[in-house]
Amino acid sequence: MQSIESSALEPTRGEMAGLSLGQKITRLLPVYGLVILTALLILLFSILLPNTFPTLLNLRSIISDKAIIALLSLAAMIPMASGRIDLTVGYGIVLWHILAISLQTMFGVPWPLAVIIVLLLGAATGFLNGLLVEIARIDSFIATLGTGTMLYALALWHTGGRQVVGVLPNGFYALNGTMVFGLPITGLYVLAIAVALWTILEYLPIGRYVYAIGANPKAAALNGIPVRRFVIGAFISSGFLTALTGVLLASKLRIGQASVGLEYLLPALVGAFLGSTTIKPGRVNVWGTMTGVVILAVGISGIQQFGGSFFVEPLFNGVTLLVAIGIAGYAQRKRGAALRARTKTVAQSSN
């Protein structure tokens, strides 16, 4: 069952051809408005906080803190492209980061094998979500909320509410702790995965099929697209990427605890939803999602450096989510009204 609708609102060349310069700017503002706002925020904080914000140390801190959220946002974006939502990105990371550590410390599994096991379990969870949504016909919000809650319960049962600690191999620590050109390697992970997803979604047939399903699954099915197969594949990809993020979180924290992970759910969804308001408004997309994550990171970092309290981050995330959904809904309604008016004009002229 479809939980969200994906419909691109970016202007076409035909629409832009007959517009004046002012009209073109007005039409492009919703497309690149968030990108421009991000650049302005970076400039503003750099001017107001010249000794702390525009520094390599702050950049390292932002990448280290937000790489996990960026990866989860990309994981959530994949089912969203097909018109579904996956809440297990927030619940699953709790169990996956605990398992990545406990398999090594409690069961003596070599770290490469432990990573492979966690990735396979993440993909299997995505497959289960796909079956619940496409075969059992449960709304994706409800299905993934139920699955995610079960994963969280398993994490609590496995740990007994206690921390999972132990000495881990240096190779496992290096997954997150390595520095490349003075920056955390997790930034390269995010960039590589973003480029791969962008290439798949924008330039390969599988991406066009997924977007077609997100826009209108019935029409996609009538055109011969195997809707069930691609939706289940989207959930499997999301589960796999969530498990990978859990492994990186385990490498970063070096301990496993069930109280860590759920706080990533809202920022990840905010980043993915913000991605539907920029670059290609009305349709979730990779670089829009990355822009959404960056503006969250920049805004929170700047506010905290001004002395913002501990509640600033969840407040900022919640307000930004509401604003993002409101902008996306407004853009869709405006585009729909414009299309109806254009259709009416054409019909009247033909008569």
3 state DSSP class of 214 = helix
pLDDT band, very low/low/confident/very high, at 239 (cuts 50, 70, 90): very high
For 306-326, the pLDDT digits (tens) are: 877 777 778 877 787 777 667
Q: Give the lowest-confidence range in 12-26, 186-200, 263-277.
A: 12-26
Q: What is the 3-state secondary structure (H, E, C) of 19-81?
A: CCHHHHHHHHHHHHHHHHHHHHHHHHHHHHCCCCCCCHHHHHHHHHHHHHHHHHHHHHHHHHH
Task: Examine the pLDDT at 37 and tell me if it is beyond 80.
Answer: yes
DSSP bridge partners of 180: 183
Q: Kindly report the pTM of this predicted structure.
A: 0.87
Query: In this prediction, what percent of the chain has a pLDDT beyond 70?
Result: 83
Return d(Cα 153, Cα 211) in angstroms, integer: 34
Task: Examine the pLDDT at 274 and tell me if it is beyond 90.
Answer: no
- Residue 35's pLDDT is what? 85
For 57-73, the pLDDT digits (tens) are: 999 999 998 999 999 99
- Residue 15's pLDDT is what? 61
**172 vs 333, more confident:** 172
The number of beta carbons lying within 10 Å of the beta carbon of residue 48 is 12
The residue whose two tokens read 């990533």 is: 264
- Within a 13 Å sphere around the CA of 251, how many CA atoms are in the beta-carbon half? 26
**73: buried, middle or exposed (CB in 10 Å: 19+, 13-18, 0-12)?**
buried
Phi first, then psi: give them for residue 183, nearest 5 degrees: -125, 155
Return d(Cα 237, Cα 269) in angstroms, integer: 16
Query: Which residues, in sequence order, are CB contacts of 34 under 8 Å at separation 6+?
Result: 274, 277, 278, 288, 291, 292, 295
The residue whose two tokens read 């759920």 is: 262
Average pLDDT of the chain, as a whole number: 86
- Residue 315's pLDDT is what? 82
- Residue 124's pLDDT is what? 97
